[in-house]
Every structure is written in structure tokens, then in C-alpha cells.
Structure 1
Amino acid sequence: MYINSCKIKVRYVETDKMGIVHHSNYYIWFEVGRTEFINATGISYSQIEMENLMLPVVESSCKYIEGAKYEDELTIETYISELTPARIVFSYNVIRNQDKKILAKGSTTHAFISNDFKVLNLKKKKPDLWEKFLSLYSG
């Protein structure tokens, strides 16, 4: 299984009055992790879209274990936790670098659809991309 790690530093704007990162920012970090994951495979999301393929989020979740704080240095780990010809699930760990503590765990489920919003069978319609994702997933 391939796990992509990207680093971020908590900005002041991401915190609330209590000095803790607002919960909505974790989903932004998940998108950063997912984008970095896809880029690390040698393709970009814009290239995927140019091939008449989109990956809308159809479900998301996050378990908050401990709040990140201003200037915490974090690592976002991203990996494929489920893969079918019609959908892909990315999972995420948000880790504080200082003590390696997992602060949050989450996932986003994406459908494979065409530009006209019809569900695609990625294995049949885009076999090269299917093989790329399959090689990164340990299932």
C-alpha cells in the first residue's frame, strides 16, 4: 500500500477563539493530502479532468482525537482504503510531528463520473488509470 505524506503548518486563520484548529479545516487538509497523493503518482487532478473524468466527494467523515494548535507542524498521511471500478475511498491521518500523535483520522469517498455526471466503470473506460490506482491499493 502506498502512503503519501505531506507536511503543513497550522496558520493562525485556521484556529478558533480557543486557539484550536476549527474542525472544518481538516477537510481542507484532506484535499491537500489527496491532491499530493494523486500528484505523486505522476498524474494531476487536472489531467484526470481533461480525460472526461471527475471524482466528486459523495461521503466524508472525520474523527477528531485531539485538537491541533497554531503553529503545530503536521503530517497528512493519505492512502487508498477502498477501490472499486465505480468509486475510490481515500483515508487520512493527521499527525502532529512533535510527538507523532494522531490528532484526527478521516476518509472521503469519491465516485468516478464523466463530465456529463454519469457514473463510469473506471476499469473499463480508463484501464490505464485503473491500473495506476490498483497498484497503489493493497486491498
Structure 2
Amino acid sequence: MKTKTTFIARYSETDQMGIIHHSTYPVWFEVGRTNFLKTAGHSNTDIESRGILLPLYEMNCQFKVPAKFEDELIVETCIKNISRVRVIFSYKVINCSNHTLIATGETMHAWTNHSLKPINIEKVASDIYLSLMRVFKE
């Protein structure tokens, strides 16, 4: 499964050169990931209300061409890999008007409890694990 989250680049996201600042991309990845989880049937609020957290432990981003103020963009999000203790999300940022690939990236997350102790998501919340496994295989 892949979700597509569309939005317009805001002026506050630009730098002095008039392009989207690199610090904005993690925020866009989070928007895409939040939409992905909700589409998969488990919102962040629902997951966290069950005592489960998904902290980020690693992230990367490769910039291809600059995005600019008022560009209409899509963040395509999918699961690259999932296990009982981790999940890796993959992202593509695409300009809607010319279908140019703006950036790619990944975020790596661990399943933990509120004390940030690693958990086995299949044992703690098998419904979340099974539904994410199902969309991963789609």
C-alpha cells in the first residue's frame, strides 16, 4: 500500500534563497506517515492510547531538485520493512505540476512502551502488527 498526501509548500518553509529549507522535509515525512497509519486503520492517537510509541531512531533524505513556495506537492509514503520491533517508512516528494521527483527519504522507528523500552508489537497489539503486515505485502 502507498498513500499520497497532497499539500502546498508554505512561505514559512522557504529559506533566504527562496527554496524549501531542508529542515522541512522531516515534517513532511511525518505528515505522510501519519496519513499512512490512519489510512491503514491505526491513527497515531489510537496507537499511543494503547501505550505504544513509535520513536524515530534514524532518518535520511536525498534532495533531487529544490521545491519552492506555492509548489503543489505529494508525499508518497509506504512501509519499506516491518518486523515485530521496528518499522521503516519510505517517502517520495513529488511536484504535482510537472511530476518531478523532489526528494526521497526513509525514517526508521522502534516499537516501544511509554518508558521507551522496546516491545514486540505482535505480542502487545497483534491487530496493529497484522494490519500493517497486510498493507506492507500489498
Normalising to structure 1: TM-score of the pair? 0.96
Structure 2 partner of 1:107: 106
Q: Which moved more, 1:3-12 or 1:120-129?
A: 120-129
State the Cα distance separating 1:61 from its structure 2 match: 0.3
Structure 2 partner of 1:69: 68
Q: Which moved more, 1:116-125 or 1:60-69?
A: 116-125
Q: Could you say what secondary structure the match of 2:137 adopts?
A: coil
Q: Which runs of 5+ in 1 are unaligned?
A: none
Q: Which runs of 5+ in 2 are unaligned?
A: none
Structure 2 partner of 1:131: 130
Structure 2 partner of 1:97: 96
Give the Cα–Cα distance (whole angstroms) in 2 for the partners of residues 6 and 118 of structure 1: 31
Structure 1 partner of 2:30: 31
Q: Could you say what secondary structure the match of 2:18 adopts?
A: coil
Q: Could you say what secondary structure the match of 2:36 adopts?
A: helix
Structure 2 partner of 1:7: 6
What residue identity is the alignment partner of 1:83? I
Structure 2 partner of 1:117: 116
Q: Could you say what secondary structure the match of 1:137 adopts?
A: helix
Cα deviation per residue 1:35-68 (whole Å; 9 max; x = unaligned)? 1111112221011001110000000000000010
What residue identity is the alignment partner of 1:46? T
Normalising to structure 2: TM-score of the pair? 0.97
State the Cα distance separating 1:30 from its structure 2 match: 0.3
Give the Cα–Cα distance (whole angstroms) in 1 for the partners of residues 62 and 115 of structure 2: 33
State the Cα distance separating 1:124 from its structure 2 match: 1.8
Identity between Structure 1 and Structure 2 (%): 38
Residue-pair matches, total: 138
Give the Cα–Cα distance (whole angstroms) in 2 for the partners of residues 138 and 64 of structure 1: 28
Alignment of 1:14-25 (within 5 A): 14-25=13-24
State the Cα distance separating 1:116 from its structure 2 match: 1.9
Cα deviation per residue 1:82-133 (whole Å; 9 max; x = unaligned)? 1010000001000000111110000100000011221011112211111011
Give the Cα–Cα distance (whole angstroms) in 2 for the partners of residues 125 and 44 of structure 1: 17
RMSD: 1.0
